[in-house]
Amino acid sequence: MTTTAQDVSTIPPLGRDEAMALAATAYQRFADAIDALAPGDWDRPTDNEEWVVRALVAHVLGMMEMNATVRETVRQQLAATRASKRSGKPLIDELTALQVAKQAALSPGELAGAIRSTAPKALAARRRAPRLVRALPIPSGSPEFPEKWTMGYLLDRILTRDTWMHRIDLCRAVGAEPTLTGDHDGRIVADVVAEWARRHARPFTLVLAGPAGGAFAQGGGGAPMELDAVEFCRILSGRADGTGLLATRVPF
């Protein structure tokens, strides 16, 4: 059977309402994945350097807290900036380290409960950000992406990709199959494909397998690529090695 590839230029950009619907589901599925953890799972290593499952969950909670209130946003940003200046490490590394450290005293049950209670607050704050705030340029905080983003790009895309990918990390760490559907995971993957295509601007044909997959193309020619949709995102996020066009990174 021949699969017709979608021209990536026809992948619609995420509107605010759609982005927030994806964010709500990403938070819900992350919380569900935590609820499925066994007591011994919290200390299992993850694909994230030096993080066990507990630290991964603490980071996601810390990011939710950061997004939930302006006060916490400012507090974390200032603390991470000071730490980055002292250590010379990237801002994003210091920020995530501070988030993990802040939750160190919480038990697994308290972490799970905090995820459930904080997610709606984070989502509401992301949703109500006014247009002027969403248009503000901000540094990425990572040397891998020496560019400016808009606050809207962070709120609509990066924060959801981060939660989504960490759910994948968590499931891989404990040997669980992540819940994947075309309307949610497939839409996130398609948005990643479109950004990846813009970043390298080269012709390609790409077939991604699995519930989150699809067939995509840009321009004419280019060596065809076939791989699992989740693995594609793991490669683009730096969690697995990629060559050729797959060496083009996309922020998560």
d(CA 23, CA 160): 5
d(CA 228, CA 237): 14
Structure confidence at residue 67 as a pLDDT band (50, 70, 90): very high
The arithmetic mean of pLDDT across residues 141-163, rounded, is 95
Token pair belonging to 104: 């160190």
pLDDT score of 2: 58
Domain 6-247: which CATH number of 1.20.120.450, 3.40.605.10, 1.10.287.130, 1.10.357.10: 1.20.120.450
- Positive or negative CA dihedral for 140, 134, 248, 98? positive
Structure confidence at residue 250 as a pLDDT band (50, 70, 90): very high
Q: Angle at the Cα of 24 (from 37 to 8), degrees rounded to 5?
A: 110
Structure confidence at residue 141 as a pLDDT band (50, 70, 90): confident
Reading phi first (left if > 0) and then psi (alpha if -120 to 50, else beta), residue 100 is in alpha
The arithmetic mean of pLDDT across residues 168-186, rounded, is 98
Residue 140 has pLDDT above 60, yes or no: yes
Q: Is 115 exposed, middle or buried (0-12, 13-18, 19+ CB in 10 A)?
A: buried
Structure confidence at residue 220 as a pLDDT band (50, 70, 90): confident
pLDDT in tens, 10-61: 999 999 999 999 999 999 999 999 999 999 999 999 999 889 999 999 999 9
Q: Structural domain boundaries of the chain? A: 6-247
Place of tokens 């990237």: 90
pLDDT score of 43: 97
The arithmetic mean of pLDDT across residues 201-229, rounded, is 94
Structure confidence at residue 6 as a pLDDT band (50, 70, 90): very high
R_g (Cα) of the chain, nearest Å: 18
State the chain's mean pLDDT as an integer. Answer: 96
